[in-house]
Amino acid sequence: MMTSLAAGNLIENEPAAMLLALAVLLGLARLLGETARQFKQPVVLGEILAGVVLGPTILGALSPGFEPALSIHLYDWLFPSPLTHPGRIALDGFVEISAILLLLVVGLEVDLSTVRRQGKATAYVSALGVALPFILGFGLAFGVPGVLGAGPRGEAAPLPFAIFVGIALSITALPVIAKVLMDMNLAKSDLGMLIISSAMLNDLVGWIGFAVVLALLPAGADAGPHMSVTMTITLTLLFLVVMITLGRWLCHKSLPYIQSRWSWPGGVIGFVSVVALGSAAITEHLGVHSIFGAFVAGVALGDSPRLRERTRETIHQFVTNFFAPIFFASIGLRINFVSSFDLVTVLVVLVVAFVGKSGGCFLGAKLAGMSQRESLATAFGMTCQGAVGIILGQLAFKAGLISEELLVAVVIMALATSLFAGPAMQSVLKLKSQLRLADIVTDKHIKIQMESTTVMEAIAELAARGAEITGIASGVISQAAIKRERVMHTGLPNGLAVPHARLTGLHKPCIVIGRSKPGIDFDAQDGSPAHLICLILTPEEDHDAQIELLALFARTFQDAGLRGRVLSAQTATEFRAELNLASSEM
């Protein structure tokens, strides 16, 4: 049975549990991610939370100390220990590949010319952003090692331990911050580029520093590096330079060949993945993490204008919606936050990391001449520590450098800063996302089949629905709207109509959209009967809202294709699905 074939092995090793684990991880991560989006938070926040919920912190730890609860059985079954279940190792391998593809996508978005233009700012931000938290962490760990809790080998070697703490506090998590920026549509902006390139430098310094720490450890290190530190540093820098010059040029030259000779876009997708996997293997071998190689490959490839937008889009969509959620959710799976929780350690680590990082980056950004607001946003963005901090912490823990308490503190710090970075940046930048009709309409706001045939009836019918939503008497609403309608009819060309009214006592604007298949004559300029009628109710004191909503409605339904599809929708949900698709494509 155990013959020499590929799938044979897993068949014996409970692939059902593993598939279910993947499905649950992906499903919950996407669900919470979408929920986070609905609340205008970065999607990654929900995805990380999904892992915390499914991990040892909640699912694996409900009702501890009592009769083993069902949830613990479920947890053990879904995510068993890798010691006994190869399926879990396979899951870890999959997560590794997810991280690589994610960083590839991030790299594809990097615009080297922007980085060059912002060279000075990048240098300041990353230098100060590393130096300050490093000094704070190093000083603390060297001065009072007892507070933080060194591991068995860390106690014997205070210097490497202190250096490690310094590094752990100064690293920025490239994948997380990149995802936050993508979620906010900032990845391609100047600010986004500054943060990404600083984080990249930061990451590089961190990984090299970690290699130094492992080399400094007293002998007997089984997890020690297989090549000398100087080798690692030289080769990594060499790899970086070669990829960004020669590699970039080669990619640029070979893309037209692949596009003309290979099937499209499949050939290009395959080529991009092969390059990313190859350079990830190289950096992993050099002793820095594989994601770094994937990122550099992405930069080299993405710089070529010959990479078509559609290819990018296919890779991007698949990675952000399939691989990335699994990766972020898996972060929370690794650790139990309850059993080794030590409040003092957690607080000390959290404060030092946060103050050091944001302080350093803020100073750096100010020195580079950026505005107060942008400096703050940069500082908050850079505090985000996320996955890389956790990976480093785990490696150090395995090498006996740090205690479990410190590991948990590092992980909590990483999660807290990741969760904090997005919302903080958003509030500093006061991003006002563009209003979309799909976001303000729910099923309640749509009357899919109007019964009225005249203007007065139609307004009364929509007003009745408006009354349910706002709590204002329907008579009041319809009277106000009819009064306005008498002044001048509100029909628009293309079968639209926008009766409207301002109401005292209304707190926020409200719209009701009605659909009439036979059409109602609102006396439009082009003589067409109105099929889509939008009753717009706005507060008396808010002058802008009415104009804004009117324009929004007219703009959205400008598209004849959308009007046609909306008219053939069966239910209010289908109606909204069409709206959402149309506004996503705009």
Query: Considering only residues 313-342, where is the footprint of another protein by CB under 8 A?
Result: 314-315, 317-318, 320-322, 325
**In the complex, what is the shortest distance from the CB of residue 318 to another protein, in angstroms, rounded to a whole number?**
4
179 binds another protein (CB under 8 A): no
Among the residue ranges 127-135, 159-167, 271-279, 556-564, the one whose residues contact another protein (CB under 8 A): 271-279
CA distances from 441 to 111, 158, 338, 436, 513 (A): 37, 60, 41, 9, 9
53 binds another protein (CB under 8 A): no
Among the residue ranges 34-42, 57-65, 123-131, 227-235, the one whose residues contact another protein (CB under 8 A): 34-42
**In the complex, what is the shortest distance from the CB of residue 51 to another protein, in angstroms, rounded to a whole number?**
16
571 binds another protein (CB under 8 A): yes
435 binds another protein (CB under 8 A): no
Q: Which of 67, 84, 434, 544 binds another protein (CB under 8 A)?
A: 84
85 binds another protein (CB under 8 A): yes
265 binds another protein (CB under 8 A): yes
Q: Which of 308, 436, 484, 565 binds another protein (CB under 8 A)?
A: 308
Q: Which of positions 235-264 make contact with another protein (CB under 8 A)?
A: 256-257, 259-264
Rounded Cα distance, 418 and 410, in Å? 12
Select 283 or 538, whichever has its Cβ closest to another protein: 283
Among the residue ranges 165-173, 381-389, 394-402, 518-526, the one whose residues contact another protein (CB under 8 A): 394-402
388 contacts: CB under 8 Å, gap ≥ 6? 171, 172, 173, 174, 175, 203, 206, 289
Select 436 or 484, whichever has its Cβ closest to another protein: 436
Binding map of another protein across residues 8-27, x = CB under 8 A, - = no contact: xxxx-x-xxxxxx-xx--xx
* Helix ranges, 144-172 (H): 145-148, 152-156, 158-170
* Helix ranges, 39-157 (H): 43-54, 70-78, 86-109, 112-117, 119-143, 145-148, 152-156
**In the complex, what is the shortest distance from the CB of residue 453 to another protein, in angstroms, rounded to a whole number?**
29
81: tokens are 């220990």
Q: Which of positions 275-294 make contact with another protein (CB under 8 A)?
A: 277-278, 280-281, 284-285, 287, 290
- The CA R_g of the chain, rounded to the nearest whole Å, is 28
At CA 176, angle to CA 174 and CA 182, rounded to 5? Answer: 100
CA distances from 85 to 54, 81, 82 (A): 18, 6, 5
Select 205 or 277, whichever has its Cβ closest to another protein: 277
> Cis (ω within 30 of 0) for the bond into 265?
yes
Rounded Cα distance, 315 and 466, in Å? 44
Are the CB atoms for 421 and 396 separated by under 8 Å? Answer: no
408 binds another protein (CB under 8 A): no
534: tokens are 């939008």
**In the complex, what is the shortest distance from the CB of residue 89 to another protein, in angstroms, rounded to a whole number?**
5
224 binds another protein (CB under 8 A): no
100 binds another protein (CB under 8 A): yes
Identify the CA nearest to 134 among candidates 30, 208, 195, 84. 208
**In the complex, what is the shortest distance from the CB of residue 557 to another protein, in angstroms, rounded to a whole number?**
17
Q: Which of 39, 81, 488, 526 binds another protein (CB under 8 A)?
A: 81
24: tokens are 């649950």
Select 79 or 522, whichever has its Cβ closest to another protein: 79
Among the residue ranges 267-275, 429-437, 484-492, 516-524, the one whose residues contact another protein (CB under 8 A): 267-275
CA distances from 447 to 169, 521, 562, 568 (A): 55, 18, 17, 14
311: tokens are 């290819």
